[in-house]
Structure 1
Amino acid sequence: MAITDLGPASRVLNFGNGIRVGNEIWFATRQILPTRVAAYDLTERRITKTALIPGVPGLWGIDAVGTDLFVSSYSPGLLFKVDTVSLEVTQVLDLAQEVGWSVKASPDGKVFVGTYPSARLWEYDPATGRATDHGRMDPDDTYVRDLVATDTTVYCGIGSRAGLVAYDRATGTRTDILPDALRSRTFGAVCHLAGDHLVVGISPTAEILVVDTRDHSSHQILKTPNDSFVVGITSRGDEIFYTTRPSGSLYRFTIGDTAPTLVGVPVAEASNVRIGFLDDGRLWAVQGAGGIIYDLATRSTEALDMSSPELAPTPERPMSLCHAGDRIVVGGTLGVQVVSTEPTPAFDTYRVPFGGEAKDMDTWQGVTHMGVYTLARYLTLPVGARTATEVARVDAAQEQTRPTSLVVDRRRGLVLMATEPDYGRWEGALNIFDGQRFRSWRGILPDQTVQSLCPDPHGVFLGGSIINGYGTTPTTTRAKLGYFDYRTERLAWLVEPTTGGVIVDLKLIGRVLVGVTRDGELFGLDPRTREVLWRVDVGAVGGKLAVIDERVFGTDGTRLWTVRAGRREPSPTVLADGLNQSWFGAPEVVTDGVRTLFTTRGTNLIRVDLT
Structure 2
Amino acid sequence: MRALLTAALATLLMVPLATAQASEPPPPTPVSLGIPLSDVLLIGGTVAPGPVPGKAAIWNVSTGKPGYLNAMDPATGASLVSAPLEGADSGYAVTATPDGSIYAGTYSNGHLYRWRPGMGDTVEDLGRPVASENYIWSLTSDEQGNIYGGTFPGGKLFRYDAATGAVRDYGQAVHGQTYVRSIAYANGKVYAGTNPDAHLVELDPATGTVSEVPSPPGIPDIRNLAIYDLAARAGKLYARFSTAYPAPLCVFDLATRTWTDQIPAAHGLNISPVGDQGEIYLIQQGELKRYDPATKALTGTGLTFTGRIQNARAIGWAELGLPDYPGKSIVGTLWRGELFRYNPQTGKSDIIQSAVRREPIEILSVAGGKQSAYVGGFLNGGVSVVDPQTGAATFNRFSQTEAVMEASDGRVWIGNYPEARVYSYDPRQPWSSPEYSPGPPGTPDNPRLEVNMKADQQMRARAFAEVDGKIAIGTVPEGDRLGGALAIHDPKTGTTRTFRNVVQDESIFGLTADHGIVYGGTSITGGLTTTPPTRAEGTVFAWDVRNSRKLWETPIAGAGTVNSVAIGPDGLLWGVAGKTIFAVDTLRGRLKRRFDVGTTTAGGDIVATRDALYAGIDGTKLYRLTPWQRTPPAVWLTQANRRIAVRGDSQLLVTTGAQLFKIDLNR
* TM-score clears 0.5: yes
Q: Contact between 1:185 and 1:202, CA under 8 Å: does it hold in 2?
A: no
Query: How far apart are 1:212 and its partner, in Å?
Result: 1.6
For 2:125, the aligned partner's letter is: Q
CA-to-partner distance for each residue in 1:277-332, whole Å, 9 max, x for gaps?
A: 3345543333332131143776853223315xxx3x23232111122333322211
Distance 1:134 1:461 in 2: 47
Q: Contact between 1:202 and 1:230, CA under 8 Å: does it hold in 2?
A: no
Q: Contact between 1:11 and 1:337, CA under 8 Å: does it hold in 2?
A: no
Query: How far apart are 1:191 and its partner, in Å?
Result: 0.5
Equivalent residue for 1:584? none
Structure 2 matches for 1:72-471, cutoff 5 A? 72-87=105-120, 88-94=122-128, 95-96=130-131, 97-179=133-215, 181-204=220-243, 206-224=247-265, 230-236=268-274, 239-243=279-283, 250=288, 253-255=291-293, 265-270=304-309, 271-279=311-319, 280=327, 282-295=329-342, 300-306=349-355, 311=357, 313-332=358-377, 333-343=380-390, 348-354=392-398, 356-364=399-407, 365-383=409-427, 385-388=430-433, 389-409=447-467, 411-412=468-469, 414-435=470-491, 436-470=494-528, 471=530
Equivalent residue for 2:561? 502
Q: Does residue 1:16 correspond to 2:47, yes or no?
A: no
For 2:203, the aligned partner's letter is: Y
CA-to-partner distance for each residue in 1:32-67, whole Å, 9 max, x for gaps?
A: 123221221234541132222222222231111132
Q: SS state of the match for residue 397, structure 1?
A: helix
Q: Does residue 1:63 correspond to 2:95, yes or no?
A: yes
Query: How far apart are 1:607 and its partner, in Å?
Result: 1.4
Residue in structure 2 matching 1:483, options 520, 532, 542 = 542
For 1:305, the aligned partner's letter is: S
Equivalent residue for 1:609? 664
Distance 1:215 1:54 in 2: 45
Distance 1:165 1:596 in 2: 55
Q: Contact between 1:248 and 1:272, CA under 8 Å: does it hold in 2?
A: no
TM-score (ref. length: structure 1): 0.89
Q: Contact between 1:190 and 1:233, CA under 8 Å: does it hold in 2?
A: no
Query: How far apart are 1:145 and its partner, in Å?
Result: 0.6
For 2:647, the aligned partner's letter is: D
151-160 or 196-205: bigger deviation? 196-205
Q: SS state of the match for residue 55, structure 1?
A: coil
CA-to-partner distance for each residue in 1:433-455, whole Å, 9 max, x for gaps?
A: 22324432222221221222222
Q: Does residue 1:511 correspond to 2:558, yes or no?
A: no
CA-to-partner distance for each residue in 1:75-108, whole Å, 9 max, x for gaps?
A: 2111111124223422224132111111111234
Q: SS state of the match for residue 220, structure 2?
A: helix
Distance 1:574 1:338 in 2: 31
Equivalent residue for 2:616? 555
Query: How far apart are 1:261 and its partner, in Å?
Result: 7.0
Distance 1:241 1:393 in 2: 35
Q: Contact between 1:394 and 1:440, CA under 8 Å: does it hold in 2?
A: no
- Relative to structure 1, the CA distance from residue 60 to residue 576 in structure 2 (aligned partners, 3 Å threshold; closer, same or farther) is same
Distance 2:298 2:538 in 1: 45
Larger radius of gyration: 2
Q: SS state of the match for residue 558, structure 2?
A: coil
- Relative to structure 1, the CA distance from residue 298 to residue 71 in structure 2 (aligned partners, 3 Å threshold; closer, same or farther) is same
Q: SS state of the match for residue 359, structure 1?
A: strand
Distance 1:262 1:561 in 2: 60
Residue in structure 1 matching 2:606, options 545, 561, 580 = 545
Query: How far apart are 1:274 and its partner, in Å?
Result: 2.7
Distance 2:489 2:167 in 1: 52
Q: Contact between 2:46 and 2:59, CA under 8 Å: does it hold in 1?
A: yes
For 2:100, the aligned partner's letter is: T
Equivalent residue for 2:632? 571
CA-to-partner distance for each residue in 1:136-177, whole Å, 9 max, x for gaps?
A: 101211000111111322111100122111112233222222
Distance 2:579 2:247 in 1: 40
Distance 1:437 1:235 in 2: 48
- Relative to structure 1, the CA distance from residue 492 to residue 580 in structure 2 (aligned partners, 3 Å threshold; closer, same or farther) is closer
Query: How far apart are 1:202 and its partner, in Å?
Result: 1.4
Q: Which runs of 5+ in 2 are unaligned?
A: 1-27, 50-55, 320-326, 434-446
Q: Does residue 1:472 correspond to 2:531, yes or no?
A: yes
CA-to-partner distance for each residue in 1:387-411, whole Å, 9 max, x for gaps?
A: 34241343433221122212333x2
Equivalent residue for 1:28? 61
- Relative to structure 1, the CA distance from residue 43 to residue 458 in structure 2 (aligned partners, 3 Å threshold; closer, same or farther) is closer
Query: How far apart are 1:369 and its partner, in Å?
Result: 0.9
TM-score (ref. length: structure 2): 0.82
Residue in structure 2 matching 1:4, options 8, 28, 31 = 31
For 2:516, the aligned partner's letter is: H
Q: SS state of the match for residue 77, structure 1?
A: coil
Q: Contact between 2:459 and 2:476, CA under 8 Å: does it hold in 1?
A: yes
535-544 or 501-510: bigger deviation? 535-544
Q: SS state of the match for residue 236, structure 1?
A: coil
Distance 2:272 2:450 in 1: 32
Q: Which runs of 5+ in 1 are unaligned?
A: 582-586
- Relative to structure 1, the CA distance from residue 488 to residue 325 in structure 2 (aligned partners, 3 Å threshold; closer, same or farther) is closer
Query: How far apart are 1:198 and its partner, in Å?
Result: 0.9
For 1:206, the aligned partner's letter is: A
Q: Contact between 2:552 and 2:588, CA under 8 Å: does it hold in 1?
A: no
Distance 1:249 1:395 in 2: 27
Equivalent residue for 1:592? 647
- Relative to structure 1, the CA distance from residue 604 to residue 248 in structure 2 (aligned partners, 3 Å threshold; closer, same or farther) is farther
Distance 1:239 1:466 in 2: 49
Q: Contact between 1:535 and 1:569, CA under 8 Å: does it hold in 2?
A: no
Q: SS state of the match for residue 192, structure 1?
A: strand
Residue in structure 1 matching 2:593, options 534, 537, 550 = 534
Q: Contact between 2:376 and 2:384, CA under 8 Å: does it hold in 1?
A: yes
Distance 2:316 2:579 in 1: 47
Query: How far apart are 1:478 and its partner, in Å?
Result: 0.5
Distance 1:418 1:243 in 2: 35
| CA RMSD in angstroms, aligned pairs only | 2.6
Identity within the alignment, % = 22
Q: SS state of the match for residue 322, structure 1?
A: strand
Q: SS state of the match for residue 134, structure 2?
A: strand
Distance 2:488 2:347 in 1: 44
Query: How far apart are 1:249 and its partner, in Å?
Result: 5.6
Query: How far apart are 1:589 and its partner, in Å?
Result: 1.2
Query: How far apart are 1:240 and its partner, in Å?
Result: 4.6
Q: Contact between 2:109 and 2:134, CA under 8 Å: does it hold in 1?
A: yes
